[in-house]
Every structure is written in structure tokens, then in C-alpha cells.
Structure 1
Amino acid sequence: MTKKPGRQIITFDWAIKTVLRDKANFDVLEGFLTALFGRAITILDMLESESNQRDEADKYNRVDLLAKTGDDERIIVEVQYFSEMGYLRRLAYGTAKTIVENLKLGEPYENIGKVYSVSLLYFDISKDGDDYIYHGKTEFTGLHTHQPVTLKKSLIGDQVRINETNVFPEYYLIPLRAFPDMIRDELDQWVYAFKNNEVLDEFTAPGIGALKEKLDY
């Protein structure tokens, strides 16, 4: 791929501590999440939970967002970057705390929000290195049949969720160094920009223009 001149932007780890915490800049994360989830995402607010305040580093290394999809489903999205040490345990702890802290005392369990955890990582996570975006979710399979279970609608609820999955948290792990710098779709434009701190002039993904202007180096 022949690169045209691009615009240098600040690093994502710095952006999440500063400009991305401003509501005026939510359009940057909306564009990225829309490309990642494959459906329109609108950010409604930033959540300041106790888990954000418990650890001073985590407070600035992640942002918890209340958002809605194009079909008006309310979801909670965590966007974060963490160091390698204790990463998976911190990830599990963070999503559990987010669920608990966003269910008010006395509220029915039906009000538990679906949490999507998105991690931009500056370290490798796979021995194989065969991909640069990994998606994890909870699925139930028959112990004897080894076939996935189709849960009853009364268990899942009426809301149509992203990927039509259940209420359990989902995880998107994006080890940036594993990205081969080959642009195939709009999501790749975002991953390239986060990895290289640069937005190429030919990038046209929705919201990528806001990334170029608001995170200008």
C-alpha cells in the first residue's frame, strides 16, 4: 500500500486521559465503536463509578460510557488500555464492578446492563499472533453433545443485543502491535490510526475526521 501524507495525532493512552473524557469529543469514540460493533453507536454520557476512583492509574487508563445502539438498546462500554501485568484479572474485576455499580439498590436484576469491554493493548496476547482483534463472550454448550445451547427468550430478554448474545459481558482485545498495517475496511483505519498515531488522508471511516482534528499532534 502506497501511503499518502497523513496527519499525526496524539497517542491513544494520552488521549484517554485528556481529550476523550470531554463530551464534546465523544464523536471520536462513537466512530470507533460503530466500526467495531458494526452498528451505529451513540454515547450518552461518561460514567464515573467507584471502580474508576479505586485505583488512581485505572481512573485515567479507562473510560466507562453509557451508550445506545441504533435500535435504542442501552449498553455500557468500557474503553481502556492496560499494562500487561495482571491484565486479564484486572479486566475481569473491572467488568464485574461496572455491572454492580450501575445497578441501583433495590432495582430488579432485569435492569442489569450489558457491558462491552474494549481494550487497546500495547503488548502481544497470543503465541500464534494470527490476528489483531480478539472477541470473547460467554456461551453454554451441552456437556455431552458439545453443541451450543439456544437459550430461551425468557432468559435472554426482549432486547436485541449486538451479535444477538446474552447479558454476560463481552470482550474485545486489540493488540495494536499485531496489526500488519494492511487496510481492508473502516475498522482497520481506526486500528492503524491508534497503532501509528497517524490518520492517512485517504481514510474515510465515519468519525475518523474527528479523530484527525481533535487529536491533532
Structure 2
Amino acid sequence: MNIRSPRKLITFDWAMKRLLRSKANFEILEGFLSELLGEDITILDILESESNKESKLDKFNRVDLKVKNGKDEIIIIEVQYERELDYLQRMLYGTSRVITEHQQEGEPYSKLVKVISVNILYFDLGHGSDYIYHGTTTFVGIHDNDKLQLDIRQQKQYGKMQINHIYPEYYLIRLNNFNSIAKTSLDEWIYFLKNEEIKDEFQAKGIQKAKRSFSILSMSEAEQAAYARYQDDLRYQASLVESNYGLGLREGREAGITEGIEKGIEQGLKKGIEQGIEQGIEQGIERGIERGKLEVAKRLLDKGMSVEEAAEAAGISANMLKRYIVSPDV
């Protein structure tokens, strides 16, 4: 007896680019966000911003949503699905950009919009055993260890009860740490994000509609071909980063050891040979990694990316990439 394999679904990042911007599919994102935040979320609108514009290779997998929560508060949720190594500062930049983009000119600071940043991570970020982390801003006394609170006047002015309700919040979903055992309705969504599969028995809000909408079999041949090209490009970029970073590390270690020994001898007893070797290794590794990033960016340029897109994808500045193109031996 043949056992039918699970129906193949498209990845969530592709769905964000192609499907989830349609009002007909708001129910899917509403379900995911409601399960994550623990309250009913209603999407009011997709906000247009620099982060939502189509790029040449569909690299920017993020969407800004104007939503209403269960307390009828209007907030902005930025959802990102990323495969990048350079990320923590990118999160901070993203929330800051959303705040400034959607602040009306002349409005007082008390009207600043609340932002929640939801980050679906396809790679390892930091050290920790959990697969979902929640970050907020609080102020704690240095001497008394008490938590600073809003007074009555400020609560009325801001319409918030706690200081952390004013500042951006961050959710980090670390897919690699999830053991693929769905114990809760939120776990069912995490299971799909990691495995691109939704089981028939899953009952999380919006997830069965996602199963129907994300089926590859329901796509036209042209859409399937575009999706296949997108996946091939992601694999190619990942391979470039891995191979060039690895090469850069090896070259950096070799060059660093040599440079470290020379510097250690010159400094003599003052700093010692061991310190010179360590410093040389560190500098060599840094140079090797930088070299690897430049090689990645150069190959992305060859595939048709602009200098700015290739530099951002590789985690370097556009000016550094331009100098490397002119003089690659530098």
C-alpha cells in the first residue's frame, strides 16, 4: 500500500511576496499573528514603504502591516523572514525606519506609533535553547532595582499603562531550535514555517487556509517555474556565502599566523610572541572574512544585481565593493 506523501507547500517568504499582500489572504497572517501575540489581530492595511518595494531578485522578504489588536489599539507589525547572518542591527534599523516613515509631519512625539517586529529566522542567531524570544524595553533602578513606571498623567497622554508598551517589541522565531513537535497552536505555525508542511489535524487560527492557499499544485505552470527559479537562486546565494566565507577563514588563518609571528617578534618582551600570534590570527581572519564577502558580492554582481543590492546581500558597504571592483588585489 502506497502512503501518500504530504502535499508540498510554498515557503512562507515566497507567500509574503506573492500571496499575503492580498486582502483575500489577510486571514492567514491574522491567524499567525494572533497565535504569536496571544490576542486577536485584525489587519487593516498593508503599508507601502521602502521595505515593501519589489527588488530585482525578490530579496527583501518583509511586510509592514497596520493592525488593530483586541483592545482596539492601532499598531504596526513588521514581519520579516530572513536568511541573513547580519541581523541584530538590521532589526533595530527596521523598527526605527517604520516609526519615522509613518510619523506624520508636525505630530507630537506622544503620537509615535507602536511597532512590533516579528522576525522569522532561518539561521542560527546568538546562543540560547528556546525557539521563540520576546524582547521589550524596561528601565530598572541601579540602586533600588525597581522598575520605572508611567505616572497617571503619562498613562492618559500615551494611552498606555506600562513604559514597555510604548517602545518597539521584538519577537525572534529561531526555526533551527524548534524540534518539530507541535504541542500548541502556535507550534503548529512554527512547524509549518520550518517544514513547509501543514498536517490535517492542525487547528491553529488561519492555518488550514494557508494549507489550501500555499499548495504548489494550485499554482499555474508559470508561477511554479518562477518559484523554482527563486528557490534555485536562494540555494546559489547560500552556497556562495558558505564557500567564500570558508575560503576566507582558511586564508585568513594562514596569513594571520604569519603576520602574528612577525609582529610578536618585533614587539619582543613587551607583548610577547603569543600575543602577536593571537592578534595576527584575529586580524587575518577578519581580512579573510572581508575578502569572502567581497567575492560573494562580486558574483552577485555577475548575476545581475546592482552594486547596492550586492553589497547589502553580502553585508558590506557599496563603497568597499566599488573599490574592490576597480582594484581586486587590494
> Would you call these one fold, judging by a TM-score over 0.5?
yes
1:121-140 equivalences in 2 (<5 Å): 121-128=121-128, 130-140=129-139
Describe the SS at the equivalent of 2:42: strand
In structure 2, the residue matched to 1:12 is: 12
Query: Over aligned residue pairs, what C-alpha RMSD do you find?
Result: 2.4
Answer whether contact 1:8 1:199 (CA < 8 A) is retained.
Answer: no
The 3-state SS of whatever aligns with 1:80 is strand
What is the deviation of 1:216? Answer: 1.2
Instruction: Give how far 1:151 is off.
Output: 2.4
Report whether the alignment pairs 1:21 with 2:21: yes
Q: Could you say which residue in structure 1 is the equivalent of 2:213? A: 214
Q: Any conservation in 2 of the 1:53–1:59 contact (CA below 8 Å)?
A: no
Task: Select the structure that is richer in strand.
Answer: 1
Number of equivalences = 212
Aligned partners of 2:160 and 2:166 also within 8 Å: no
Q: Shift of residue 57 of structure 1? A: 7.1
Residues 162-210 of structure 1 show CA distances to partners (whole Å, capped at 9, x for unaligned) of x984210000000111101121111000000111000001101111111
Q: Which moved more, 1:136-145 or 1:102-111?
A: 102-111
Structure 2 match to 1:169 = 168
Q: Is 2:124 aligned against 1:144?
A: no
Identify the residue that residue 184 of structure 1 maps to in structure 2: 183
* Residue in structure 1 matched with residue 204 of structure 2 by the alignment: 205
Whose Rg is larger?
2
Query: Quick check: 57-66 or 26-35, which moved more?
Result: 57-66
8 Å CA contact retained: 1:51, 1:98: no
Residues in 1 aligned to 2:200 and 2:149: alpha-carbon distance in whole angstroms = 45
124 and 59 in structure 1: CA distance in 2 versus 1, 3 angstrom threshold: closer
Conserved 8 A contact 1:76-1:116:
yes
Gap runs ≥5 in structure 2:
217-330
Structure 1 residues 79-129: Cα deviation after superposition (integer angstroms, max 9, x where no partner): 01223332111111110010011111112222211100001110112323x
Q: CA deviation at 1:71?
A: 2.0
Where structure 1 has 5 or more consecutive residues not aligned to the other structure, the ranges are: none
Q: CA deviation at 1:7?
A: 3.8
Sequence identity percentage: 49
* Higher-helix-fraction structure: 2
TM-score w.r.t. the length of structure 1 is: 0.88
Q: Which has the higher contact order (CA 8 A, sep 6+)?
A: 1
Residue equivalent to 1:193: 192
